[in-house]
Amino acid sequence: DDGNLDIVTANFNSNDLSIFWGLAGGFFALPEVIPTGLRPAGITAEDLNGDGRIDLALALFGDNQIALLQNDGARSFSAAGRLDCRESTYGVAAGDMDGDGDPDLAAINNGDLSVSLFRNQDFQSWQALPPLPLPQRPVALRWGNIRQSTAGSERFPELTVLSAALTLIGKPAAGHAAESRVTVFEYDADSGGLLPVQETVFPGSALDFTLANLDYER
């Protein structure tokens, strides 16, 4: 650990990722390019195998999969398997949905209108959970503890998904007014998966979102 933040980009058209290693003084090295698979569209960084190093997971739009890259140290990565998703996987995010200490993965499937879920089993393997259906094409997702009034919710981050009338593949439906929606999923201990607990619909074609306490004052 050199104490410097690095930058990683998913390069959709060239089927690879670029790593800009952080240098002293706030500068970055020229990018190191690593092949990924077809059409990487999203990326997340997290210690996925419990070895203390930050690994990478990429949403492969063209392969309908999540590609896992293990951090081997000394600025090198190796392929660590793939997780099968649904059609046109567009984004991926890591979060400990069940509070057991290891990060799980969620991926949005823009062509299939769904969310793929994978439970991290003690850093050893991945369990595919039933996909979560969505009424519109998902375009972005985030984990975050947003339902703090729910009993015990501080242990379990919620998954928030943005869906929109924004077609990334195929033709948009004619004659429909543009609208978007934010859906919040919460961990359900009985099923071991996620259940929708809130949905907000609003006009327009939203593309991305963030979670922040904007009215907090220091």
Answer whether residue 209 is part of any domain.
no
Answer whether residue 117 is part of any domain.
yes
- Residue range of the domain that includes 30: 7-203
The number of distinct structural domains making up the chain is 1
User: Could you give the 3-state DSSP secondary structure of residue 46?
Assistant: strand
Q: Using alpha carbons, select from 197, 183, 185, 193 the residue that is nearest to residue 98.
A: 193
Pairing of strands 65-73, 7-11: unpaired
Answer whether residue 168 is part of any domain.
yes
Calpha distance 186→164 (Å, rounded): 21
CATH number for position 126? 2.130.10.10
Q: Where are the beta strands (DSSP E) in the chain?
A: 7-11, 16-20, 32-35, 40-46, 55-60, 65-73, 76-84, 89-95, 104-109, 114-121, 125-133, 137-144, 158-164, 179-188, 193-203
Answer whether residue 211 is part of any domain.
no
User: Could you give the 3-state DSSP secondary structure of residue 140?
Assistant: strand
Answer whether residue 153 is part of any domain.
yes
Q: How many CA atoms lie within 13 A of 132 on its CB side?
A: 26
Q: Would you say 92 and 105 are in contact if contact means Cβ atoms under 8 Å apart?
A: yes
CB-based contacts of 22: which residues, under 8 Å, 6+ apart? Answer: 2, 4, 5, 6, 7, 28, 29
Query: What single string gives the DSSP state of each residue in 48-91?
Result: -SSSSS-EEEEEETTTTEEEEEEEEETTEEEEEEEEE-SSSEEE
Q: Mind listing the pLDDT tens digit of every residue in the chain (218 residues)?
A: 788 999 999 999 999 999 999 999 999 999 999 999 999 999 999 999 999 999 999 999 999 999 999 999 999 999 999 999 999 999 999 999 999 999 999 999 999 999 999 999 999 999 999 999 999 999 999 999 987 655 555 679 999 999 998 765 566 556 567 899 999 999 999 999 999 999 999 999 999 999 998 988 77
pLDDT at 216: 81
Answer whether residue 218 is part of any domain.
no
Answer whether residue 147 is part of any domain.
yes
Answer whether residue 129 is part of any domain.
yes
Per-residue burial over 139-174, b = 16 or more CB atoms within 10 Å of its CB, e = otherwise: bbbbbeebeeeeeebeebbbbbbbbbbbeeeeeeee
